[in-house]
Structure 1
Amino acid sequence: MTSNRSSNNQTPQTIWIARHGHRYDFQYPDWFETARRRYDPPLSEQGLQQAQELAQRLEQEYDQGSSRLTIVSSPFRRCVTTANAVAERLGTGIYLEWGIGEWLNPDWMTEMPEIASPEELQAEFPRLDLSYRSRSQPQYPEVSQEDCWRRSGETARELARQTSGDLLLLGHGATVLGMTQGLLGHPVDMQTACCCLVKLTRYDGDWCLELKGDTSHLSETESQIRLN
C-alpha cells in the first residue's frame, strides 16, 4: 500500500465502502451448530451472485489492471470472498485489515471468533498481499456499537491518509456504518444491506457522500437487514 498522498494534492480521492455478500448461515441456520469456525461463515449462493454484481459495478469505474483502486478487506471469509470477486475483475491485490472487521459483539459470539489464517486464505485467494500489517487489532468483547464504530472509523481515516489513490473498504453491517461516519465526522442514517455500496469523494479536504448504502447494482436483496 502506497502512502505518498500530499496534503497539497488537490486530486479528488474516492473511497468506496461495501458490505460482504449474503451469508451462508443466513440461508442455512443449522450450519452454525456444527461448523468448525461458526463465526466465520462463507457466502451463500445468493452472496456469491451479489459479490459478482458488486464487482461488475466497480468494473464500470475502473479498467482491468488499473492501479487506481486499492482493496482493503476485513479478514473474515465472507468479506475476503466478496473482495476477491472485485480484485479478479480489476486484476489487483487485496490487503487484510482487522480494524474494519466484524463487531465483536458478545450478544452474537461467546469468544473472540476463530477465523482462517492469512496464509490459509491466500492459498484459496492468491491475490492477498501478506506483506501488509493490520493497523488495528480489536479486542473481544466490544460491548457497545459505538466502540465498533469508533474503531472502524479511526481505521478508515488512517487508511485514507496513508493511501495514494482510491480505496475499496470491504466490511460488515456495523463497520460499513462506522467507516462512513468516521470519514464524514457525523452520524449517518443508513441501511447497510449485504453488498450495499457507499461512495465518498474528497474535494479539497472535505468528504462528500455520493452513494448511501446503494443496492441498485443487485438483482436480489434480503428483506430483513441484519447487522452481523
Structure 2
Amino acid sequence: MTVKTIYIIRHGYRSNWLPEKEQLPILTGVDSDPQLAPHGVEQAKQLAGFISKELSPKPQLIFSSPMYRCVQTVNPTAEALGLDIFIEFGIGEWFKRNRGQIPKPLEASNMKKYFSRVSESWNSHTMTPSQEGETEEEIFNRCAAFWPKFIPKVEQQFPNAECILLLGHAASKITLGMTLMGYKNNRDYLREEDNGDGKTTRIQAGTCSLDQYKLDENTGKWHLKINGKTSYLQNGTEMNWDYGTSKFVAGSDEDIAYRRKLAEQAKRAESLVDGIPAESGSSRTFSKL
C-alpha cells in the first residue's frame, strides 16, 4: 500500500519557557532537552483526546524526534491508540551553526528507559542532522532529502500503513511540510491548493498544533489540508513561530526573552490606556505571541 495521509505535530509547552524557579530538571542529561511544563503535559493529553476520539483517519504509525519533550508529547496519543513510538532523527530539532556545542539526543534504546512505548525496531537515522549545526538552507535540504528515503522505507517495513504521524519541532514541522509539498524555501506563502492565498498564509506552528497532508494519487503531489489546528487545546494557539516573521530560533533563550519583552511592552501600553499600573504577569503571559 501507499502512505496517503501524514500528520505533523509540534511538541507541547516546554518547562524551560517558565520562570527559572518553576522549571523542571532535564532528565536525560542532554543539553536543550527539557521536559514539558505542566501546561505542556495538559496540552499533550488534550491532543491525545482529539486524535483518539475525533481525528480521521487515525494514525497507524507514530514517529518522534529524539528529544524528550517530543516523545513526552506524543506518548499519551500512543497510549490511547495502542501504538509504538519510533524515534526518527531526521525530524529532529534545528540548531544553528553559531550555537557552539550541538546537543546529541538519546538513541531509542535509552529513550525507552523513560517511555515504554518507544520501540527499537526502526532504524532511527533515516537522516541525521549535522553535529556542526545547520543554516536555514541546510535544514531545508535535510528535510528535502528525508522524504524520498523515509516514505519508501515506511512502505517497505509497514506495507499496510496508509496514515502516519510525525512529532517534531516548530522549524522541522514547517520545513518538513514545505519540502513535502515541493516548495523551494521555508518562507514561501502557501498556494491556494495548499489551503493558502499565496500572499499571507504560512504553515502555523503553535505548541501541540497539528497539520494534515494528503496525497493526490493522480498527480503524486502532497497538499496541506489542515494547517496548525489547535481548536482542541484549552488555550488555543500558543507560541506560534515561522521563518518569515520570527527573529530567533523557535523556543531558544533569545526567542523567549524577545517574547517576554514584547509582552511587557504590550502590558505597559495597556496599563497606560486603562490608567492602571502594570502588574507582574503570570509565567505564560507571552505564550500566545
| TM-score bin, normalised by smaller chain | 0.7 to 0.9
Task: Select 1:46's aligned residue among 31, 39, 56.
Answer: 39
Contact 2:97 2:135 (8 Å CA) reproduced: no
C-alpha change, 1:95 and 1:154, in structure 2 (3 Å) is: same
Which residue number corresponds to residue 211 of structure 1?
Answer: 226
Counterpart pick for 1:195 among 208, 218, 238: 208
Are residue 97 (structure 1) and residue 88 (structure 2) matched?
A: yes
Indicate conservation of the 8 Å contact 2:108/2:119, yes or no: no
* Distance in 1 of aligned mates of 2:236 and 2:18: 13
> How far 1:71 moved relative to its partner?
0.5
Higher RCO by CA contacts (8 Å cutoff, separation 6 or greater): 1
1:16-68 deviation line (CA, Å, top 9, x unaligned): 00000011101144688x854331011011111111111112112369xx7x5
Distance change (3 Å), C-alpha of 1:197 and 1:157: farther
- Equivalent AA in structure 2 for residue 54 of structure 1: L
Could you tell me the TM-score, scaled by structure 1's length?
0.83
Query: Unaligned stretches of 5+ in structure 1?
Result: 7-11
Distance 1:54 1:213, change over 3 A: same
- Quick check: 1:25–1:41 contact (8 Å CA) kept in 2? yes
In structure 2, runs of 5+ residues without a counterpart are: 155-160, 191-201, 242-249, 252-289
CA distance in 2 between partners of 1:82 and 1:157 (Å)? 26
- Name which of 152, 155, 160 aligns with 2:143: 152
What's the Cα RMSD here? 2.5
Q: CA deviation digits over 1:127-147, x for unaligned, max 9?
A: 111121121121123342221
- 2:118 match: secondary structure: coil
Q: Write out the 4+ residue segments of structure 1 that deviate beyond 6 Å after TM superposition.
A: none
Q: 2:133 aligns with which of 139, 142, 148?
A: 142
For the 8 Å contact 2:209–2:237, the answer to whether it is kept is no
Q: SS where residue 170 of structure 1 aligns?
A: strand
Matches within 5 A, 1:1-228: 5=1, 13-29=4-20, 36-59=29-52, 60-61=54-55, 69-107=60-98, 109-133=99-123, 134-163=125-154, 164-186=161-183, 187=188, 188=190, 189-204=202-217, 205-221=220-236, 223-226=238-241, 227-228=250-251
Count of aligned pairs between the two proteins: 215
Quote the residue 1:9 is aligned against. Answer: none
Question: Contact between 2:67 and 2:105, CA under 8 Å: does it hold in 1?
Answer: yes
Moved more, 205-214 or 170-179: 205-214
| Greater Cα shift, 21-30 or 216-225 | 216-225
- Give the distance between the partners of 1:157 and 1:57, measured in 2 at CA: 30
CA apart distance, 1:172: 0.3
Query: 1:150 and 1:168 mapped to 2: Cα distance?
Result: 21
Identity %: 28
After superposition, the C-alpha distances for 1:108-149 in whole angstroms (9 at most, x for unaligned) are: x42120433422321221111112112112112334222112
The structure number with the bigger radius of gyration is: 2
The verdict on how the C-alpha distance between 1:157 and 1:197 changes in structure 2, with shifts beyond 3 A counting, is: farther
User: What are the Cα deviations for residues 62-83 of structure 1, in whole angstroms up to 9, with x where unaligned?
Assistant: 69xx7x5110100000111112
